[in-house]
A and B are shown apart, each in its own frame.
Chain A
Amino acid sequence: MLILECPYCGVHAEETELHGGGEAHLTRHGPESSDQDFEGYLFQRENPRGVHFERWRHVHGCGKWFHAARCTATLEVFGTYSAQTSEPPQHIRDRISAKRPGWSWRELA
Chain B
Amino acid sequence: MSEPVSALNAAAFDGLAHVQEAGLHGMITLRGDHADADFAQAVADVAGVAMPDQREVVSGGDTSLIWMSPDELLLLCPYAEAGETVTKLTEALGDTHALAVDVSDARVVFTLTGTHIRDVIAKLAPVDMSPAAFRPGMVRRTRFAQVAAAVWLRDDETAQIICFRSVAPYMFALLCNAATPGTEVGIF
Tell me the A residues contacting B by CB distance below 8 Å.
8-11, 13-14, 16-17, 60-64
Please tell me the size bucket of the interface on B.
Answer: 10 to 19
Given A60-B143, A62-B141, A64-B70, A17 contacting B55 (CB threshold 8 A): no
Secondary structure call for the B interface: strand
Residues of A within 8 A of B54 (CB): 9-10
- Cα distance, A64 to B72, chains bound together (Å): 11
Q: Is B70 touching A62 in the complex (CB atoms < 8 A)?
A: yes
Q: Is A62 touching B68 in the complex (CB atoms < 8 A)?
A: yes
Q: Is A11 touching B140 in the complex (CB atoms < 8 A)?
A: yes
Residues of A within 8 A of B142 (CB): 17, 60-61
Q: Is B126 touching A9 in the complex (CB atoms < 8 A)?
A: no
Known: A9-B54, A14-B126. 5 other contacts (CB 8 A): A9-B141, A16-B143, A17-B126, A61-B142, A63-B72
For the complex formed, measure the closest distance between the CB of A79 and the CB atoms of chain B, giving whole angstroms: 19
Q: Is B69 touching A64 in the complex (CB atoms < 8 A)?
A: yes
Interface residues of B in 42-81 (CB under 8 A from A): 54-55, 68-70, 72
Which 9 pairs from chain A and chain B are nearest by CB? A62-B69, A60-B143, A61-B141, A14-B126, A60-B148, A8-B70, A17-B126, A60-B142, A16-B126
Residues of A within 8 A of B69 (CB): 8-9, 62-64
For the complex formed, measure the closest distance between the CB of A58 and the CB atoms of chain B, giving whole angstroms: 8
Residue from A10, A13, A16, A60 within 8 A of B55 (CB atoms): A10
Residues of B within 8 A of A61 (CB): 141-142
For the complex formed, measure the closest distance between the CB of B67 and the CB atoms of chain A, giving whole angstroms: 8
- Cα distance, A10 to B67, chains bound together (Å): 12
- Residue-wise, chain B 128-153 has the 8 Å CB interface mask toward A (1 for contact) of 00000000000011110000100000
In the complex, which residue of chain A has the Cβ closest to the Cβ of B67? A9
- Cα distance, A60 to B124, chains bound together (Å): 13
- Cα distance, A13 to B140, chains bound together (Å): 11
Residues of B within 8 A of A11 (CB): 55, 140
In the complex, which residue of chain A has the Cβ closest to the Cβ of B140? A11
For A8, A11, A14, A64, the residue with the greatest tally of chain B CB atoms inside 10 Å of its CB is: A11
For B55, B68, B141, the residue with the greatest tally of chain A CB atoms inside 10 Å of its CB is: B141
Can you give 29 A-B contacts (C-beta < 8 A)? A8-B69, A8-B70, A9-B54, A9-B55, A9-B69, A9-B70, A9-B141, A10-B54, A10-B55, A11-B55, A11-B140, A16-B126, A16-B143, A17-B142, A17-B143, A60-B141, A60-B142, A60-B143, A60-B148, A61-B141, A61-B142, A62-B68, A62-B69, A62-B70, A62-B72, A63-B69, A63-B72, A64-B69, A64-B70
